[in-house]
């Protein structure tokens, strides 16, 4: 390994000894040319950016129209999360459950350490301490990611509270999640993302992209955190968080779980339709929520993240004006196209692409100009509708939890669970058509309970049981709903306009919370009649609303059979109460 004495890292004073020891062990294993402890400062980010611009890893965008923004092109074989090679490595296989790929911890460590041995030779090893959640929140949790990717450093700096303050908090907490990452050679057959929840450890090799590499996000804040949350009595969820201010001056906080690329960022930044003056939606989070039963019997939530890693395609001034405004400066774009003026471009924008996401001259026969999973990374502070409640150490009390999926048929626009237990069934029953956010086929319906299929760090049967037990601790639980913005007609046209008009559905939910709105009983839950929704000014196709609010009993019976078959995979571990809820709906369907 040669000359280690020249390469001894200089930990900042105040670095806890446990961090130090681990960094030293990783340094010996990976053999980097140098070690850089990240402070998270602006100067550090500017220096890393300048170096990446000079090496060609980043490209400057049109400085006048997108100041201080850059484009990163990832390897074309590395453009999304890779669920096939994502593992949960628990001592007992059953603890990971049929919902996860599993490997024994010893074997997994061996495989990963073989990959990491010497992997950073000639490269810089970055040590980045980060905090998920407001730095002074009792609900926040810290981690340290070691990576050889400067792109990861720049992204984590936006997505988390990264740097010296986090290190100080780790010294106070005495514990942290260890995340080791290397882009390796980007060889798809040498690509693995391994989680060791019992050791609070993550090892990720061979990908530099998003959820595979920004370890604070899905790996820590969902897979590891969901495990910790079960032990400690809270929930780590794939949910957006919003404050909704009504014209009457009420504010309600709503959390919503939709699968990847199914509308969380868009709902989190929703602009009310012109027909709803006085309403305002403010963003607390757009992807992940940590939920804690509070002292007063309500459920409180924080957003562990500090930025957004959002889907670019489809974002424009009509669909999401706030997002479009927010990415016009100080933004990292990944895998978008360029116009002739070097402005970022993606499908859904006006104008024309000149260069595609792979840096080639745009040619429609090569497919989309921007990769369908191209993204922007941006600080939450740039969001025009940022909610300052995102900084509250105690979080915000949740009035409603919304589950949803992308389904062209069956699932109605909205329905409400009869109570928490039924709501757990509704969440467990989420299914959605796959999207470009994960490698693999797009548009295939798959079961995605609570939008957590790729992210739950333990056995779903235990997870559903945990959801039921959290509900039992809430004397004032939120109401639970299910929505589907993605119903289509026979020609593939959306039946519901979506985006800003989704607030019409949220208004009904909040009226339900306040006891103002009526609902009709259906076998699958409580639904608005068309008069209960404010549809004023909407140009819906003839018959669309009946379609959107209909319950096709025959189709639902077969849906429940599929859900029952899914539950069977969990055997005796499945909570009896969940099976009872399913049987109850089946009985109501006749
Ligand atoms: P992740 O970041 O992958 O977790 O995705 P997300 O859930 O935040 O999804 P996002 O809001 O980025 O939306 C993904 C895609 O769905 C974008 O192309 C949006 O334009 C589209 N979309 C979002 N909301 C709606 C809606 O209400 N109706 C329709 N038809 N499309 C929508
Ligand atoms: C998702 O896929 O749900 C995302 C993007 O939010 S990633 O960070 O790649 O997981
Ligand atoms: Mn997501």
Query: pLDDT-based confidence at 9, cuts 50/70/90?
Result: low
Cβ of 287 below 6 Å from ligand 2: yes
Predicted local distance difference test score (pLDDT) of residue 13: 75
Q: How far is the CA of 226 from the centre of ligand 1 (A)?
A: 24
> Going by C-beta distance under 8 Å and a sequence separation of 6 or more, which residues neighbour residue 107?
none
Catalytic residue numbers, as ranges: 262
| For residue 512, pLDDT beyond 80 | yes
| For residue 565, pLDDT beyond 50 | yes
Cβ of 310 below 6 Å from ligand 1: yes
Q: Domain extents for the chain?
A: 17-57+80-233, 237-306+388-588
Q: Which ligand is nearest to the CA of 454?
A: 2
SS (HEC) of 517-579: CCCEEECCEEECCHHHCCCCCCCCCCCHHHHHCCCCHHHHHHHHHHHHHHHHCCHHHCCHHHH
Cβ of 102 below 6 Å from ligand 1: no
pLDDT in tens, 185-241: 999 999 999 999 999 999 999 999 999 999 999 999 999 999 999 999 999 999 999
The model's pTM:
0.97
| For residue 101, pLDDT beyond 90 | yes
Residues paired with residue 36 on neighbouring β-strands, in sequence order: 126
pLDDT in tens, 116-129: 999 999 999 999 99
Q: What mean pLDDT is predicted for residues 442-469?
A: 98
| For residue 1, pLDDT beyond 90 | no
pLDDT in tens, 177-191: 999 999 999 999 999
Predicted local distance difference test score (pLDDT) of residue 3: 41
CATH number of 237-306+388-588: 3.90.228.20
pLDDT in tens, 343-352: 999 999 999 9
Q: How far is the CA of 438 from the centre of ligand 3 (A)?
A: 10
Query: pLDDT-based confidence at 5, cuts 50/70/90?
Result: very low
The CA distance from 69 to 210, in Å, is 18
Within 238-330, strands assigned E span 239-245, 251-257, 280-285, 289-293, 299-302, 307-311
Query: pLDDT-based confidence at 461, cuts 50/70/90?
Result: very high
Q: Which of 349, 339, 345, 267 is nearest to 316 (CA)?
A: 349
Q: Whose CA is nearest to atom 2 of ligand 1?
A: 310
Nearest atom in ligand 1 to 502's CA: 27
pLDDT in tens, 308-342: 999 999 999 988 999 999 999 999 999 999 999 99
pLDDT in tens, 335-373: 999 999 999 999 999 999 999 999 999 999 999 999 999
The CA distance from 302 to 297, in Å, is 16
pLDDT in tens, 267-293: 999 999 999 999 999 999 999 999 999
Q: How far is the CA of 153 from the centre of ligand 2 (A)?
A: 17
Residues paired with residue 203 on neighbouring β-strands, in sequence order: 180, 194
> Going by C-beta distance under 8 Å and a sequence separation of 6 or more, which residues neighbour residue 99?
449, 453, 456, 459, 460
Q: Which ligand is nearest to the CA of 324?
A: 1
Nearest atom in ligand 2 to 209's CA: 9
The CA distance from 140 to 156, in Å, is 16
| For residue 4, pLDDT beyond 60 | no
Residues paired with residue 239 on neighbouring β-strands, in sequence order: 257
Please state, rounded to an integer, the average pLDDT across all residues of the chain.
96
pLDDT in tens, 30-76: 999 999 999 999 999 999 999 999 999 999 999 999 999 999 999 99
Residues belonging to the chain: 590
Query: In this structure, are residues 106 and 114 in contact, taking their beta carbons and an 8 Å threshold?
Result: no
CATH number of 17-57+80-233: 3.40.449.10
Cβ of 261 below 6 Å from ligand 1: yes
Cβ of 218 below 6 Å from ligand 2: yes
**Secondary structure element (H or E) that encloses residue 472, with its range:** helix 460-472
Nearest atom in ligand 1 to 320's CA: 20
pLDDT in tens, 151-179: 999 999 999 999 999 999 999 999 999 99
Q: Which of 130, 129, 260, 119 is nearest to 182 (CA)?
A: 119
Pocket test for ligand 2, best of 79, 152, 210 (most atoms within 8 A of CB): 210
Within 246-322, strands assigned E span 251-257, 280-285, 289-293, 299-302, 307-311
Q: What mean pLDDT is predicted for residues 376-397?
A: 98
Predicted local distance difference test score (pLDDT) of residue 6: 45
Side-chain-side CA neighbours of residue 158 (13 Å): 27
Nearest atom in ligand 1 to 435's CA: 3
Cβ of 210 below 6 Å from ligand 2: yes
Query: In this structure, are residues 588 and 523 in contact, taking their beta carbons and an 8 Å threshold?
Result: yes
Cβ of 225 below 6 Å from ligand 1: no
């Amino acid at each position: 390994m040669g000359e280690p004495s020249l390469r001894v890292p200089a930990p900042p004073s105040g670095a806890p000894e446990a961090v130090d020891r681990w960094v030293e062990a990783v340094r010996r294993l990976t053999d980097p040319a140098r070690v850089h402890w990240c402070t998270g400062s602006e100067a550090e980010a500017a220096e890393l950016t300048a170096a990446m611009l000079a090496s060609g890893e980043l490209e400057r965008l049109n400085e006048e129209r997108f100041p201080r923004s850059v484009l990163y092109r990832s390897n074309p074989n590395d453009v999304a999360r890779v669920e096939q090679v994502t593992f949960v490595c628990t001592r007992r296989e059953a603890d990971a459950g049929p919902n996860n790929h599993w490997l024994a911890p010893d074997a997994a460590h061996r495989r990963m350490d073989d990959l990491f041995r010497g992997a950073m030779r000639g490269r810089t090893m970055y040590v980045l301490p980060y905090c998920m959640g407001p730095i002074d929140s009792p609900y926040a949790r810290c981690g340290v990611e070691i990576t050889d990717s400067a792109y990861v450093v720049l992204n984590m700096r936006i997505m988390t509270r990264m740097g010296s303050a986090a290190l100080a908090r780790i010294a106070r907490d005495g514990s942290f999640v260890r995340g080791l990452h290397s882009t390796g050679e980007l060889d798809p057959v040498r690509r693995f993302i391994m989680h060791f929840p019992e050791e609070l450890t993550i090892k990720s090799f061979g990908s530099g992209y998003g959820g595979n590499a920004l370890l604070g996000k899905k790996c820590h804040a969902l897979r590891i955190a969901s495990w910790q949350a079960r032990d400690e009595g809270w929930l780590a969820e794939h949910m957006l968080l919003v404050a909704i201010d009504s014209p009457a001056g009420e504010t309600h906080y709503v959390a919503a779980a939709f699968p990847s690329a199914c509308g969380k960022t868009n709902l989190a930044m929703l602009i009310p339709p012109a027909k709803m003056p006085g309403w305002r939606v403010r963003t607390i989070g757009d992807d992940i929520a940590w939920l804690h039963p509070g002292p007063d019997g309500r459920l409180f939530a924080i957003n562990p993240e500090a930025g957004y890693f959002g889907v670019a395609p489809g974002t424009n001034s009509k669909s999401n004006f706030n997002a479009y405004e927010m990415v016009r400066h100080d933004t990292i774009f990944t895998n978008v196209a360029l116009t002739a003026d070097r402005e970022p471009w993606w499908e859904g924008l006006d104008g024309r692409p000149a260069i595609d996401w792979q840096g080639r001259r745009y040619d429609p026969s090569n497919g989309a100009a921007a990769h369908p999973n191209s993204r922007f990374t941006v600080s939450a502070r740039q969001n025009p509708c940022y909610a300052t409640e995102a900084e509250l150490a105690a979080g915000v009390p949740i009035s409603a939890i919304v589950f949803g999926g992308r389904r062209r048929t069956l699932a109605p626009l909205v329905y409400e669970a009869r109570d928490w237990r039924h709501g757990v069934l509704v969440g467990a029953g989420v299914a959605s058509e796959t999207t470009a956010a994960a490698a693999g086929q797009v548009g295939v319906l798959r079961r995605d309970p609570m939008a957590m299929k790729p992210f739950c760090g333990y056995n779903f049967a235990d997870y559903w049981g945990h959801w039921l037990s959290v509900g039992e601790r809430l004397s004032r639980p939120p109401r639970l709903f299910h929505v589907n913005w993605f119903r289509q007609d026979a020609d593939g046209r959306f039946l519901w306009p979506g985006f800003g008009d989704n607030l019409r559905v949220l208004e009904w939910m909040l009226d339900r919370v306040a006891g103002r709105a009526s609902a009709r009983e259906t076998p699958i839950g409580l639904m608005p009649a068309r008069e209960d929704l404010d549809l004023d000014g909407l140009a819906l196709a003839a018959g669309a609303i009946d379609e959107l609010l209909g319950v096709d009993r025959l189709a639902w019976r077969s849906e429940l059979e599929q859900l029952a078959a899914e539950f069977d995979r969990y055997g005796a571990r499945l909570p009896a109460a969940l099976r009872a809820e399913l049987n109850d709906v089946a009985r109501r369907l006749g």
